[in-house]
């Protein structure tokens, strides 16, 4: 079977085909033994996996697990705050320099005019 047809069988099974195509592919699967066997195999795996995920559980205690999260939240909040402060300082320096430059320019102009 061509690969694109295999993918059509799968898409049909997953309900990913538009209605008219789903009908056409469904009819073909019903007629074709190979397509029907493939659909059965894919469907079987799909069914087996559905709601059969192994439930993972953490060995760590609630407190220990949370402590690392809390520390990281606080550390990153600190970094953000420091970044914010650095930005404010940088802006203040820029404005300060601009203000000084303008004052200097004004003084030069005054001297020229005089």
Partner 1 sequence: MDHDKSALEEADLVRMAQKGDMASFEELVARYRDKIYARAYSMMRHEEEALDLSQDAWVKGWQRLAQFQGDSSFITWMTRIVINLCLDQLRKQKRQRAESIEAMEEDGGVERRMPVVQSQSHAGLERVELRERIDRALAQLSHEHRTVLVLHEFEELEYKEIAKRMKCSIGTVMSRLFYARRRMASLLAGLKRESSE
Q: Residue 64, interface with partner 1 (CB under 8 A)?
A: no
CB 25 within 8 A of CB 9: yes
Taken in order 13, 17, 23, 27, the sign of the CA dihedral is negative
CB atoms within 10 A of CB 25: 19
- Of 19, 53, 112, 113, the residue at the interface with partner 1 (CB under 8 A) is 53
By CB under 8 A, the residues from 8 to 47 that bind partner 1 are: 10-11, 14, 16, 34, 37-38, 40-42, 44-46
CB of 22 to partner 1, least distance (A): 14
Q: Residue 69, interface with partner 1 (CB under 8 A)?
A: yes
Closer residue to partner 1 (CB): 56 or 110: 56
Tokens matching residue 18: 């538009």
Closer residue to partner 1 (CB): 45 or 103: 45
Number of helices (H) and strands (E), helices first, in the chain?
Answer: 4, 0
């Amino acid at each position: 079977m061509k690969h694109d047809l295999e993918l059509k069988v799968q898409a049909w099974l997953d309900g990913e085909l538009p209605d008219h195509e789903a009908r056409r592919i469904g009819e073909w699967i019903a007629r074709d033994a190979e397509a029907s066997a493939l659909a059965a195999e894919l469907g079987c795996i799909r069914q087996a996996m559905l709601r059969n995920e192994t439930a993972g559980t953490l060995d760590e205690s609630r407190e220990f697990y949370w402590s690392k999260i809390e520390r990281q939240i606080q550390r990153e909040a600190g970094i953000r705050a420091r970044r914010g402060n650095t930005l404010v300082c940088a802006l203040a320096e820029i404005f300060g320099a601009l203000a000084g430059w303008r004052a200097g320019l004004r003084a030069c102009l005054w001297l020229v005019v005089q």
